Structure 1
Amino acid sequence: MTDIEWDGARVLARIRAATMAGLEVGAEHLLQVSSSLAPHEEGDLERSGEVSKDEDGLVVAVSFDRPYAARQHEDMTYRHDAGRKAKFLEEPMHGEKPTVLALIHQRARRELGET
């Protein structure tokens, strides 16, 4: 009979790290899709997109850092180039949800050594 030594803290740390890795991949996907829809005049808004993270809280966020980002996102009366639009972050958050969840799952499993 083989003795098994349980190291719960180590297991939880691996699970948290795998979860965070998955969240980051999902957020990067959302950023990519959102950036491709962001209004584009000179590309400043599109390039300002970033993923930030709080590893302690297991939280990731996608944001766009320009003074006019919120207005461009919310004002549905603005005209945009073909393929660009308001709600460039909100719509992909809903529409890409299955893909984002699948990416999180796949990355977390890979990090934990599962196939």
Structure 2
Amino acid sequence: MAAVPQNFRMNFDGGPAAQELRTAAARGLFLGAEHVLGLADEVVPLDEAALQRSGTASVDEASLTAMVSYDTPYAVVQHERMDFRHAPGRTAKYLENSLNAGRTTVHALIAAQLRRALR
């Protein structure tokens, strides 16, 4: 008995899957930004802790961009001025160094959210 060829037609609507992956990527970016913020909070210069308390992490899901920021009038100066003296364990470049130190973990957090969305 000869096999009868069969034809199949399938329509795939990838829109919902793409949206789920985008949402997962945004969630991973936010977790990554929160991780970097936590690292930065450990080394951000302290006086009365106003700078540390002003730290925030956020994500723009439309552009898939994560932001970590400190919102005081002197945040940029404290970050950039390498000649300032800080308490032990506190340093300038608190954001830049924290991002570089946390890069591998941030990648892993994003990847984990994407894998979860693909289940």
Cα deviation for residue 105 of structure 1 reads 1.0
CA RMSD of aligned residues (A): 1.7
Matching residue within 36, 39, 49 for 1:43: 49
Tell me the residue number matched to 1:63. 69
Residues 3-26 of structure 1: per-residue CA shift (max 9 Å, x gap): 755221111101101111111110
**How many equivalent pairs are there?**
113
Runs of 4+ in 1 over 2 A off after TM superposition: 1-5
TM-score by length of 2: 0.87
Amino acid at match of 1:28: E
Tell me the residue number matched to 1:90. 96
Cα deviation for residue 52 of structure 1 reads 2.1
Asked if residue 19 in structure 1 is aligned to residue 21 in structure 2, the reply is no
Cα deviation for residue 87 of structure 1 reads 0.2
Judge conservation of contact 2:44–2:94 (CA < 8 Å) in 1: yes
| Structure 2: distance between partners of 1:52 and 1:24 | 6
Structure 1 unmatched ranges of 5 or more: none
Judge conservation of contact 2:29–2:59 (CA < 8 Å) in 1: no
Structure number with larger C-alpha Rg: 2
TM-score by length of 1: 0.90
Tell me the residue number matched to 2:59. 53
Matching residue within 82, 85, 95 for 1:79: 85
Residues 68-91 of structure 1: per-residue CA shift (max 9 Å, x gap): 000000000111111100000001
Structure 2 unmatched ranges of 5 or more: 1-5
